[in-house]
Amino acid sequence: MDLDEILLDAEDRMDKAVGVYADSLKRLRAGTANPAIVETIRVDYYGSPTPLNQLANIGVPDPQLIVIKPYDPSVLEPMVKAIQASDIGINPQSDGRVIRLNIPGLSEKRRVELAAHVKNMAEDARVAIRNVRRDANKELEKLKKDSKISEDECEGACEEVQEITDRHSQQIEKLRAEKHEDLMKV
């Protein structure tokens, strides 16, 4: 790997860490209806596990309700079973054409627990980012040791890796703060 490849790889891997954290926040139930809660639930569709959002239209007509209308009515029952088997903790109600999910409000205790969970997830994401920084810095030191780059180039690249790390850590913190605010809304 050369210098540019190391920096691009580090940025790409840090972007992925932020993306994983953002996706996991979307799936976290905050007391209001959000299609992301159910989009990735896998439904057995003709022997193949298929994401729910590929089999149905998912709508949010009001803040406490998710409505799932399957494109193919024959898959309604497997959808109900998949939702019940998932860990979202919501019991689906089906009328034979659509599935309704009533999203209950969160108690204050549950809000605090979820906020703590969001904080722990953020720390895990920051650890992943720091691990990428460590790997990049090791690669840079290896290039310097092999005399492929000068000490000044290595120092400058390490500073750039730190800037990339700081930028991604700030993105994690921003996402955490937004989700925390969303959770604490009454």
Q: Residue 181: pLDDT above 80?
A: yes
Could you give the CA distance from residue 60 to residue 67 in angstroms, rounded to a whole number? 6
CA neighbor of 120 nearest in space, from 61, 69, 180 = 180
Q: Work out the average pLDDT over 152-172.
A: 94
Those residues with Cβ within 8 angstroms of residue 78's Cβ, 6 or more apart along the chain or in another chain: 43, 44, 45
Q: Domain check: are 120 and 178 in the same one?
A: yes
Here the CATH number for the domain that contains residue 164 is 1.10.132.20
**Distance separating alpha carbons of residues 55 and 141, to the nearest angstrom:** 50
Percent of the chain exceeding pLDDT 90 equals 40
Q: Are residues 13 and 52 in the same domain?
A: no
- Write the pLDDT tens digit of every residue in 133-148: 999 999 999 998 988 8
Q: How many CA atoms lie within 13 A of 86 on its CB side?
A: 22
Count CB-CB contacts under 10 A for residue 66: 23
Which tens digits make up the pLDDT trace of 58-90? 998 888 888 999 998 888 898 998 988 887 778
Rounded CA separation 176/34 (Å):
17
Structure confidence at residue 165 (pLDDT): 96
Residue 130 in this model has a pLDDT that exceeds 90? yes
Q: Are residues 111 and 21 part of one domain?
A: yes
- Compute the average pLDDT of residues 88-99: 86
166 in the same domain as 116: yes
Name the pLDDT band for 186 (thresholds 50, 70, 90). Answer: low
Give the CA radius of gyration of the chain: 22
Asked if 56 and 70 count as a contact pair (C-beta separation under 8 A), the reply is: yes
pTM of the shown model? 0.74
What's the mean pLDDT when you consider all of the chain?
Answer: 88
User: Does residue 87 belong to any structural domain of this protein?
Assistant: yes
By residue range, what is the domain housing residue 54? 36-102
Question: Is 64 part of any domain?
Answer: yes
Judgement on whether residues 85 and 121 belong to the same structural domain of the protein = no
Q: Do 140 and 175 fall within a single domain?
A: yes
Is the same domain home to 115 and 147? yes
Domain for residue 118, yes or no? yes
- CA-nearest of 86, 84, 93 to 64 is 93
The residues, ordered by sequence, that sit 6+ positions from 164 with a Cβ below 8 Å of its Cβ are 7, 10, 11, 14, 133
The encoded tokens of residue 41 equal: 């639930």
At 170, the amino acid letter reads Q
Indicate if 139 and 178 belong to the same structural domain.
yes
pLDDT for residue 105: 77
Tell whether 31 is covered by a domain.
Answer: no
**Which CATH number do you get for residue 86?**
3.30.1360.40
Of 102, 120, 141, the domain-final residue: 102
